[in-house]
Amino acid sequence: MIDYNKLRVRINPDNLRHNYRIYRKLHDNVIPVIKSDAYGHGLAETCRALEPEGVITFAVGFVNEAVKLRGIGCKTRILALLGPQDDADVEALWQHDVLAAISHIDQLKKVAAAAAANGPLDIGLKFDTGMRRLGFLPGELDAAMEVIKGSGLNPVMASSHLASADVPGHKDNVEGQIATFESMVGWLTAAGFDVEANIANSAGALAFERSRMGSLRQGITLYGGNPFSGSELESLGREFRPAMEVTAPVMQVHELKKGESISYGWTFTADRDSVVAVVGVGYADNYSRGLSNTGEMLIHGKRAPIRGRVCMQMTAVDVTEHMREGHAVGAGDRAFLLGGPGPDAITPKELAGWWGTIDYEVFCLLGMNPREYI
Ligand SMILES: *Cc1c(COP(=O)(O)O)cnc(C)c1O
């Protein structure tokens, strides 16, 4: 957590709940994915915001995230999508009642060995239907079942992950993955295991009805991202509201005369007499240097383009029009880096575009700064 700065992240838990409810219209078993500190929105706070909504299962990444969640008093079932990585993780499955997605035969054998000492345990199984990161391939199910039989391990969930549900041209790939998953789940059912099956992420569930199986895993739309923004499917994600706003203070306002350059490398030279505001935020606050001469901020409801390089703790923006139009900017005013009031609010997608990344990364990185909840 970054703790030396003036950047403030403001989270609106009502919008998290709103986004959860929208998604719940698709299915009554929606698993909020709150890995990586809830995509920068706060693990504990996001859990507390959603628990009263009747969540059946939360999903995190590593087992230690699940342990942390238990530590703050979460009583709901927790799925650790990445499964145990070391002996401490394996023990934690029993100690903290964690449902782990097991994705490899060696991992399965370690957990089975621990079950011999610790007793029975519910587990999830992760299937690789095309992502080629983690998971059992269809041809590996027999071997997995040999380990499971008589071990005390009880598969109660099967999961797989879609590689390109948010790419409108990839319909065939997605449907192929779903078909593979259905046949693997069918195989488990035939072997006598009645599992809760889930393959849908945010984009999958919105665009592919067939992906809505036993439960859905909701990540980016919970935080107000629209996986289809800018595509022909944009309207599918229209109702989600961003829950994160980010501000930093204006430190000083001064003229930048025609012909004068600003910041490291003098990469920007004013082509007219102008006014700049120096804002107290930089790449040490995870506000990327890649935004140099590209990004925009919002001050008094009006856009202010970044001039010159983003520095470690400072970034200059052009406020010439603000001064001319009677929206005078002064030290102490807050500049919005994300969100803000009015029709020109900076959207997660826009900021990500200037930054050269996706809204997921913007949330994770900016969310490492001090947060306030409204
Ligand atoms: C992160 C993650 C999700 C959530 O995906 P979104 O695109 O954010 O909805 C779902 N499933 C798994 C396995 C994940 O790792």
| pLDDT tens digits, one per residue of 29-57 | 999 999 999 999 999 999 999 999 999 99
Q: Are residues 271 and 170 part of one domain?
A: no
Distance 319 CA to ligand 1 centre (A): 39
**Mean pLDDT of the 212-216 span:** 98
For position 45, what pLDDT does the model report?
A: 98
> What is the reported pLDDT for 164?
95
Distance 219 CA to ligand 1 centre (A): 5
The answer to whether the CB of 129 is under 6 A from ligand 1 is no
302-362-318 Cα angle (round to 5): 30
Q: Which atom of ligand 1 is nearest to the CA of 221?
A: 9
Let me know if residue 78 belongs to a domain.
Answer: yes
Express each pLDDT in 131-144 by its tens digit: 999 999 999 999 99
Same domain, yes or no, for 189 and 280? no
Q: Is 157 in the pocket of ligand 1 (CB under 6 A)?
A: no
pLDDT of residue 168: 86
If asked whether residues 86 and 208 sit together in one domain, one would say yes
What is residue 132's predicted lDDT score, i.e. its pLDDT? 95
Same domain, 73 and 194: yes
The pair of three-digit structure tokens given for residue 269, joined into one six-digit string: 């030279």
Question: Closest by alpha carbon to 347, among 358, 336, 339?
Answer: 339
Asked if residue 251 and residue 209 are part of one domain, the reply reads: no
Same domain, 92 and 134: yes
Atom of ligand 1 nearest to the CA of 201: 9
Angle of CA points 90, 91, 92, to nearest 5°: 90
Q: Is the pLDDT of residue 70 over 90?
A: yes
Residues 6+ apart with CB under 8 A from 263: 292, 307, 308, 309, 311, 316
- Where residue 364 sits, what CATH number does that domain have? 2.40.37.10
What count of Cα atoms within 13 Å lies in the side-chain half-sphere of residue 33? 22
- State pLDDT tens for residues 290-306: 999 999 999 999 999 99
* 8 within some domain: no
Report yes or no on 41 lying in a domain: no
Residue 185 pLDDT grade (very low, low, confident, very high; cuts 50, 70, 90): very high
In a domain, 128, yes or no: yes
Kindly give the distance from the C-alpha atom of residue 58 to the centroid of ligand 1, in angstroms, as a whole number.
Answer: 12
Among the candidates 214, 230, 256, a domain finishes at 214
Residue ending a domain, choose from 214, 236, 268? 214
Per-residue model confidence (pLDDT) at position 143? 97
Asked if 255 and 177 sit in the same domain, the reply is no
Could you tell me if 100 and 81 are in contact, meaning their C-beta atoms sit under 8 angstroms apart? no
Substitution candidate for ligand 1 out of 41, 198, 217 with most atoms within 8 A of CB: 217
Mean pLDDT of 255-262: 98
Q: What is the pLDDT of residue 133?
A: 97
> What does the pLDDT look like over 15-24, one tens digit per residue?
999 999 999 9
Q: What is the pLDDT of residues 309-334, one digit of tens each?
A: 999 999 999 999 999 999 999 999 99
Q: Residue 300: its pLDDT value, please?
A: 97
Angle, CA 146 vertex, CA 134 and CA 137 arms, to 5° = 25
Q: Are 202 and 288 within one domain?
A: no
CA of 324 to the centre of ligand 1 (A): 46
Atom 8, ligand 1: which residue's CA is nearest?
219
**Shared-domain flag, residues 261 and 358:** yes
> In which domain, by residue range, is 180 found?
57-214
Active site residues: 35, 264
Of all residues in the chain, the percent with pLDDT exceeding 90 is: 98
Q: How many domains does the chain have?
A: 2
CATH number at residue 70: 3.20.20.10
Ligand 1 binding pocket mutation candidate from 26, 81, 221 (most atoms within 8 A of CB) = 81
Does residue 187 register a pLDDT over 90? yes
Q: How far is CA 311 from the centre of its chain?
A: 26
Across 185-206, average pLDDT:
96
- The answer to whether the CB of 115 is under 6 A from ligand 1 is no
Residues 304 and 207 in one domain: no
Q: Does 210 share its domain with 248?
A: no
Cβ contact 366:286 at 8 Å:
yes
CB 358 within 8 A of CB 166: no
Instruction: For ligand 1, say whether the CB of 201 is within 6 Å of any of its atoms.
Output: yes
Domain membership flag for residue 37: no
- Identity of the amino acid at 76: T
126 lines ligand 1 (CB under 6 A): no
Pick from 164, 174, 169: which is nearest to 212 by CA? Answer: 174
Structural domain contains residue 82: yes
pLDDT mean across residues, the chain = 97
Q: Tell me the backbone φ, ψ of residue 333, rounded to 5 degrees.
A: -65, 155
Instruction: Give the mean pLDDT of 153-175.
Output: 95
Residue range 253-262: mean pLDDT, rounded: 98
Quickly list DSSP for 318-358.
Answer: E-HHHHHTT----TTPEEEEEB-SSTTPBPHHHHHHHHTS-
State yes or no: pLDDT of 26 exceeds 90. yes
Sign, CA dihedral 229-230-231-235, equals: positive
Q: What's the pLDDT score for residue 212?
A: 98
User: Do 285 and 350 have their domain in common?
Assistant: yes
Residues 79/31, Cβ–Cβ less than 8 Å? yes
Q: Which residues are annotated as a binding site for substrate?
A: 133, 312
> 123 Cβ partners below 8 Å, 6+ apart?
99, 100, 101, 102, 111, 153, 154, 155, 156, 157
Longest dimension (CA), the chain: 79
- Residue 275 is assigned to a structural domain of this protein: yes
**Confidence check: pLDDT of 179 > 90:** yes
Q: Is residue 228 part of a domain?
A: no
